[in-house]
Structure 1
């Protein structure tokens, strides 16, 4: 057990498995103590069938929180022991239902003393403990339903990785990264168009000299993401948020979110009242990001891109 003192809570799953194994071993011994031919993993199915007759596999799975294949396997094992039977539903011949056999029903009476003794033993254990494990499990189950451990770890990873990201203004040394990162994603989903070549090959004259800006995301000093604010000749919209690209090797590190927010703050600092962007409906992660940044769907603006079938705008004022 010293391993858990060194690992701390990151070995929670391993420690819970060990605790579960202890309970499972004891449960097997307890069934033997009461001369009941039952495997611990069968108990949830047995208990449901002891309360209800003629239940489907699906209904059992929903009630005990197992998958249908798992329940089907348990039912087959119990049937092999002669504890359950499967048959066609008398009311609906298309459905198979499960019920306890005569041998299974005999256990219902036999197991009552075991129920009482096990419950008393658990109550005794709880009284000796400083914390109520049963209530804690209920609380943890609720919290994990709201947000899984995987989701929580992923969020923490993003937060930690974000600490290594720096958003910097464009310099000539980033020209190749600006071009290559955009060519990579455009070529993956679409084809390069004339407007792409203008902005990527001539960033100075097409974007910067016209009052636009380019931001570069550095991860540990390496350029892994870019985006541009292109000045629009439109009294209703100040800048187009365009040419946002993130290297596949850096995706999942919150780069797009950081770039988008930096671009929005840059536009605000320039006195912009609104931002516009174009995308395509197949780029679902990108559109989801734009929604999180506050952009709303709009229509009607002319576009130089064949691929653009989705337009959005963000009001800053």
Structure 2
């Protein structure tokens, strides 16, 4: 057990597999002890079919939580042993249903004492433990159905990596990064327009000197994301969030979120009541980010961009 103590909770899967292997090995011996011609891995399928009705493989897979290929393999093995029969569905001849054969049905009676003794043995073991394993498994299954372990690890990875991201103010040293990062995504999905060239070629003159601001995201000291707060000449809005871009190599680190929060906070500190932005719905991850930041859709605004098909605002007060 030293390995598990040393590895810690990240070895959960390995430890559960070890426990499962141990229980499965014992289960095989239990079946032999009761002269029941089943393999432990067949039990979920056998139990589902022992309820009486013939079922499709898909229905069995859904009921026991196994994959369709896994159930198909078990069915083939049980058919080979004469425990299961396959036939066409009476109501839909295109479907195949399976049910227990006469030999399989005989096991239902033979296995009853085994069920009684195994249940009693497990309950006795559970009574000797501080934690109820059965309830703990139910809790884990519920939690993982809500959010998979993969998703949870992805979130932790994003959180850890986002802590290594620095949001800094723009300086002329970042002009090329500001331009390249934006040109990359614009050229990929659309075409560069006059308003793009104006802002990206001369950000100092056309953004900062006009009362705007630019933030740069650094990861490992390299500029990997940018976003601008642009001063607007508009009766409804004083500032616009624009020219947000994140390097594809640095995505998944919450950089867009950090840049968006920095721009919104800057606009708020400058006294803005609302923040405006324009985008395109083909950029679904970006639009989702804007909604997450609190932006809401607005309509019927004039725009200098051909590609714009969604306009949004964020209330800052």
**Which residue number in structure 2 is paired with residue 164 of structure 1?**
164
**Which residue number in structure 1 is paired with residue 218 of structure 2?**
218
**Which residue number in structure 2 is paired with residue 303 of structure 1?**
303
**Which residue number in structure 2 is paired with residue 176 of structure 1?**
176
**Which residue number in structure 2 is paired with residue 57 of structure 1?**
57
Deviation for aligned residue 1:90? 2.3
- Aligned positions, number: 317
**Which residue number in structure 1 is paired with residue 121 of structure 2?**
121
**Which residue number in structure 1 is paired with residue 147 of structure 2?**
147
Query: What SS does the corresponding residue of 1:303 show, helix, strand or coil?
Result: coil
Deviations 1:233-268 (A, max 9, x none): 002011111000011111000100010011100000
1:229 pairs with 2:252: no
**Which residue number in structure 2 is paired with residue 104 of structure 1?**
104
Question: Superposition pairs for residues 274-289 of structure 1, below 5 Å?
Answer: 274-289=274-289
Deviation for aligned residue 1:69? 2.1
**1:53 touches 1:100 (CA, 8 Å); kept in 2?**
no
**Which stretches in structure 1 are left out of the alignment for 5+ residues?**
none
**Which residue number in structure 1 is paired with residue 186 of structure 2?**
186
Deviation for aligned residue 1:92? 3.3
1:41 pairs with 2:41: yes
CA distance in 2, matches of 1:93, 1:125: 48
**Which stretches in structure 2 are left out of the alignment for 5+ residues?**
none
CA distance in 1, matches of 2:70, 2:175: 56
RMSD: 1.2
Deviations 1:69-115 (A, max 9, x none): 22122111111111011112223333321110001001111111111
CA distance in 1, matches of 2:80, 2:310: 59
Deviation for aligned residue 1:204? 1.0
Query: What SS does the corresponding residue of 2:55 show, helix, strand or coil?
Result: coil
CA distance in 2, matches of 1:145, 1:92: 33
After superposing the two structures, state which structure 1 stretch, 13-22 or 305-314, moved more.
305-314
**Which residue number in structure 2 is paired with residue 313 of structure 1?**
313
Using structure 1 for the length normalisation, give the TM-score. Answer: 0.97
Deviations 1:23-50 (A, max 9, x none): 1111111111222221111101100111
**1:298 touches 1:311 (CA, 8 Å); kept in 2?**
yes
Query: What SS does the corresponding residue of 1:51 show, helix, strand or coil?
Result: coil
